[in-house]
Chains A and B, each alone.
Chain A
Amino acid sequence: MELLSGAEMLIRSLEEEGIDIIFGYPGGAALHIYDAIFQQDAVQHILVRHEQAAVHMADGYARSTGKTGSVLVTSGPGATNTITGIATAYMDSIPLVIISGQVQSHLIGEDAFQETDMVGVSRPIVKHSFLVKKAEDIPEVIKKAYYIASTGRPGPVVVDIPKDLTHPANTFEFQYPQKVKMRSYAPITRGHTGQIKKAVDLIFSAKKPVIYSGGGVILDDASAHLTELARTLNIPVTNTLMGLGAYPGTDKQFLGMLGMHGTYEANNAMHYSDLILAIGARFDDRVTNDPQQFCPDARVIHIDIDPASIAKTIAVDVPIVGPVAQVLTDMLALIKQSKESMDKKALDSWWQEIDTWRSRNCLQYKTDDSDKMKPQQVIETLYKVTKGEAYVTSDVGQHQMFTAMYYKFDRPRQWINSGGLGTMGFGLPAAMGVCFAHPGTDVACVTGEGSIQMNIQELSTCLQYDLPVKIINVNNQSLGMVKQWQDMQYDKRHSHSYMDSLPDFVKLAEAYGHVGMKVDKFEDLESSMIKAFAMKEKLVFMDIYVDPNEHVYPMASPGGSMKDMILSKTERT
């Protein structure tokens, strides 16, 4: 049997696990590991410029592929810099393994140089974590880490390894475990048949059903199942921010996104429905508005892999704990066998009602109230130029909502954003992760002049690895979403919501070795964007100046029910 050091065992374990790329940044406590990386080429290491970005890259890689993302950092500041990235992945249930170096075992607890209790600091935002005690344990811990991260409800797992455990002088017999079994961790693999039967009965008795589906459908690769179910039953579908792309955005049964910035038709369909079929969604507060006033006539079927997500905020009539794809497969089989069918008459009149809401055309916006370009126009043009086929990542704020509303995602894993945590600075590194996973495809990062500056240093990494991200900087010279709330709720007192002394982004992009473009007229937008996307090998930073006074509508009326919406600066429901 081979004798390997702890560091070598770690890298070999990653290789055995099928990991071919890891994002990281070296430092003292990780030096033995980095030396082991240097001496092999099975696992490619990507050097970032800030550890937070390493986690977002691994995250973008994971979201766009379904594989687990991997990160390697050193102790202390290296480890703490990953925290925002880990929390981002945790909130959106993204499988990641974060390996952090730790000070030598005998120094732990002594406030040693670059010592941080990483397991402690990350505890509330990880699915699980390990502090490795013995070098011999490294292969098993890595096996467990990837198993836990990727199964059940996925999430980030931290593996903290003290430096002495990776020392090259100490070698061990290496064997990577083929299987892992943990008595205290057994993810559910099947939904309860009786519950699925009950759900099907309830669906057939519904007159105004709606499917409300979320990120769980994408995580479990169940988009085809969802689509088949919806089409078989002719039920309307709305997606959460995290679920966009799980059901084709251009399909006639699709109502658009629901919730805080959901469409008029989606939110009304929820409010007036008599049956909500919730699939891989978690009744987030940005969806439900006031839970006390939530969908008063609706019975609720809830399919989720995580029992704790069920009945957390909203009471459920038929809970089904299990993997979405398997539950939907069973459900479809039952539906096809059944002698019953949907009440066609009721469904027809339900669709008529929905069509009336649709005719409100809630995504229409004014272009004549300002001589500036509108942010919505930017997203519509991006959709047109990329033929709706690009991977699109976003940062957080108005541009994120506009992208969710105006770019019609037809494929799962095509839309990548920080939904749960709302992390500014996510977009660029996430787009880079997508580029590594899907070389040669169009990857756009829709961002704003606020968000992009939170991880702009990664432009340097983009040059090093030739990542041709197209940065769509929707520049409204202000923190748009903050400003919108201040307009609406703080009597237009714009406390710290505008960006003074913005850099010249064109020059900045050029300084990093990329192409910069400034666009401030709508007439130039499409041709510039076509030019940008034609530069297949180049990162292009499009700095696009838009109307700083535009708001995102529709918007849920705070404290109301789902039907209570603000539709424009002057209209409410």
Chain B
Amino acid sequence: MRRIISILMENEAGALSRIVGLFSQRGYNIDSLTVAPTDDETLSRLTLTTAGDEGTIEQITKQLNKLVEVVKLVDLTEGAHLERELMLIKLKASGAQRAEIKRTVDIFRGQIVDVSMSMYTVQLAGTSSKLDAFIEAVGDVSILELSRTGVTGIGRGEKILSL
């Protein structure tokens, strides 16, 4: 099962490599990973998506919690949560294709952020599955380049991940 794990960790050199190393060392998968500082400059927030059965996920969270630099973590998928991913995608757009792609971008509520004679660069935010759906809709043939940020997320409502 797909999980989104959000981690508050000490903003120190080496902390990220410990987390990533843990996954490769113990044979867990990371499907996506985003990391950036938070409003508290001593902390970074790392969000990763992974998959596994319940036992594996339990081990992953326990092992992560053992890392000295991990201050707090939450499995967002355990409760109601918001998840977003940002994608920049360069699409071939010439002739009749141009209007069709524009329509698709509008349907997905994306934005065209760069234009040339033969291509559009589209910015699209949403859940990973929405991004997947857009990619499917425009079709492989028109994709020139694609860059996704990986998932970031936050719990819904009053639940707060902080110290």
Contacts and interface: CB of A to CB of B under 8 A. Distances in A.
B66 A306 contact: yes
A120 B163 contact: no
Interface string A7-48: 000000000000000000000000000000000000000000
A128 B68 contact: yes
Contacts of B62: 307-308
Interface string B68-80: 1111000000000
Contacts of B129: none
A148 B68 contact: yes
Contact of B21 (A123, A148, A312): A123
A128 B21 CA distance: 13
A182 interface: yes
A311 interface: yes
A127 B66 CA distance: 9
Interface residues of B, number: 20
A418 to B, nearest CB: 20
B65 A183 contact: no
Nearest to B18: A123
Contacts of B71: 183-184
Interface string B1-37: 0000000011001100110010001000000000000
Interface in B54-74: 55, 58-59, 62-63, 65-66, 68-71
A184 B68 contact: yes
Nearest to B14: A119
Interface of A is mostly: mixed
Interface size class of A (residues with CB under 8 A): 10 to 19
A184 B63 contact: no
B117 to A, nearest CB: 44
Contacts of A124: 21, 25
Given A183-B71, A184-B10, A311 B66 contact: no
Q: Which of A119, A120, A307, A308 has the most chain B CB within a 10 Å cutoff?
A: A308
B70 A131 contact: no
A85 to B, nearest CB: 19
A308 B68 contact: no
Contact of A311 (B14, B55, B65): B55
B17 A123 contact: yes
Contacts of B18: 123
Interface in A410-448: none
A311 B59 CA distance: 8
Nearest to B63: A308
Nearest to A315: B55
B66 to A, nearest CB: 6
B102 to A, nearest CB: 48
A307 B21 CA distance: 20
A307 B14 contact: no
6 contacts: A120-B17, A184-B9, A184-B68, A307-B62, A308-B62, A308-B66
